[in-house]
Amino acid sequence: MLYRLYQPADFPALYAVEELCFQPPFRFSRAYMRRLTQSLRAATWIAEEGAELLGFAIVEWSEDSNGAYIETLEVTPSRRGQGIGSELLRRVEDSARTAGAASIWLHVDQENAGAIHLYESRGYTRRGREEHYYARHRAAFIYAKRLAPHDPDPASSANPADSAAF
């Protein structure tokens, strides 16, 4: 598995994953996704095997770089549960930390048990709930985590090989 930063030529494959993971009206538009991937205050990480893009994650940080927001983290359904999401999450956290963010946060569909488990296992805590956040009036939980500068993530420290990139 190769993890790398997004390149503009990745957009068709990236958006194909978006279409696979989310159906309308929950899917980001192409225009919005392009804006995210082109932002100078964002990082988009790609997970690929061979020529196949299997997942991606996008994080944006504020102008003052004090906080960061995970816009999306997506893994193709056939490859979920194999650690790809966890590694993408670690990489967007590291990008946010490098940009100077002291904290990171996100919204997650309250019905997405797999994503909730991932975030909680990586040290995120539930900070609230936002009603009608998603289409069709679905609620979102708000999760957040403090990012200590260049400290290993507690979830990664159990396996020293996982924390080698910090």
Q: What is the mean pLDDT of each run of 10 residues along the chain (166 residues)?
A: 97 96 85 96 97 96 87 94 95 95 95 94 95 83 90 42 29
**CA-based nearest residue to 99, from 123, 66, 124:** 66
- C-beta separation of 129 from 139 below 8 A: yes
> What pLDDT, on a 0 to 100 scale, did the predictor assign at position 163?
30
Round to whole Å and give the CA distance between 111 and 131: 13
Round to whole Å and give the CA distance between 39 and 60: 8
**CA-based nearest residue to 2, from 50, 35, 40, 41:** 50
Q: What is the DSSP letter of 77?
A: G
**CA-based nearest residue to 119, from 73, 165, 59, 68:** 73
> What pLDDT, on a 0 to 100 scale, did the predictor assign at position 65?
64
The two tokens of residue 130 are 């936002």
- C-beta separation of 61 from 68 below 8 A: yes
3.90.1570.30, 3.40.630.30, 3.40.50.2300, 3.40.190.10: which CATH number matches 2-163?
3.40.630.30
Round to whole Å and give the CA distance between 88 and 73: 7
In whole angstroms, how far apart are CA 70 and each of 67, 91, 159?
Answer: 10, 11, 24
